[in-house]
Copies of this chain bind each other. A is one copy, B any other.
């Protein structure tokens, strides 16, 4: 019980609840990744998919950055897309090319063929990895973050079949075949909600829903055709786990922030393309904020990094509920030494 209390009272979870903290909590998206020699060593032996799908390995990778740095949260080593597999999509990760889907969803018939399955089915490796990690992290008082892609970002991959620049196919379905679009998004919303909730039940102390591509949309389209399904997914988590903080993440969404209040999340992640103080003004005071250093900054010499980190902290200072993070995943070329100094610097500056 004492360990669980330590997690519940951790800086990270307190900040999610907008309670006062002794120091600003920090974790980094993709904190387990190619910039770390320990990770690269494991990748010599295993593919990314093997790491993700083998619970013991996923747990090992998850813990790597916590051994190296004084981070305030762990995030399960996984991907935003695995939920698509049990729905019937043939997902693969081509080396150096990102995720690809062999049977993308293009028509009403394709949508009808998707399976509305309980998300846990076929994803037991994720839940098992969480079960392995939870007691280890409880002992250290470190909360574990579970996650998934958001319905729109999953739909973007499902329809496009891969990452694209213009997202013309997914926008095409959304605009030209609204019935198919809403059927697809409903399926995805329920699957994402169930999947996130299953991660909480397995031991995740918070969940993050990644809507990485939401920034390609006009506000009216986002509000009418996307937001209801993001909210639906998060409502499933809220109903099933009322006390578990929910983080919503997206990039390039400075023009959507006013709408995010309606998502039902506790924490809104924002990228560096807007000042944190400006963002907070738009989202409103009833949400915590996570972000928002440009990951590219960490490639520079520390003399150039430090003032930019300082600015992020200043933008958030004076109010509870700031979780320091990057605005997107840490870049592969990031010097480990910069990460160490970043964590120290953020912890060194009291709010």
Contact = CB atoms under 8 A, between A and B. Distances in A.
Contacts of A175: 296-297, 300, 304, 308
A218 interface: yes
Given A175-B297, A294-B171, A304-B175, A215 B272 contact: no
Report how many copies the assembly holds: 2
A167 B255 CA distance: 22
A29 interface: no
Interface residues of A, number: 37
Contacts of A256: 273
Contact of A218 (B171, B258, B294): B294
B215 A296 contact: no
A295 B190 CA distance: 31
A299 B168 contact: yes
Given A176-B304, A218-B294, A275 B299 contact: no
Interface in A209-254: 215-221, 252-254
A166 B331 contact: yes
Contacts of A166: 296, 331
A213 to B, nearest CB: 12
A168 B296 contact: yes
Nearest to A171: B296
Given A176-B304, A331-B166, A311 B275 contact: no
Contacts of A38: none
A183 interface: no
B331 A300 contact: no
Given A215-B273, A217-B294, 18 more contacts: A168-B296, A168-B331, A171-B297, A171-B300, A175-B296, A175-B304, A175-B308, A215-B252, A217-B273, A218-B275, A218-B308, A219-B274, A219-B278, A220-B308, A220-B311, A254-B273, A255-B278, A255-B279
18 contacts: A167-B296, A168-B296, A168-B333, A171-B294, A171-B299, A172-B296, A176-B300, A217-B294, A218-B273, A218-B275, A219-B274, A219-B278, A252-B273, A254-B255, A254-B274, A255-B273, A255-B278, A258-B278
Interface of A: 166-168, 171-172, 175-176, 215-221, 252-256, 258, 272-275, 278-279, 294, 296-297, 299-301, 304, 308, 311, 331, 333
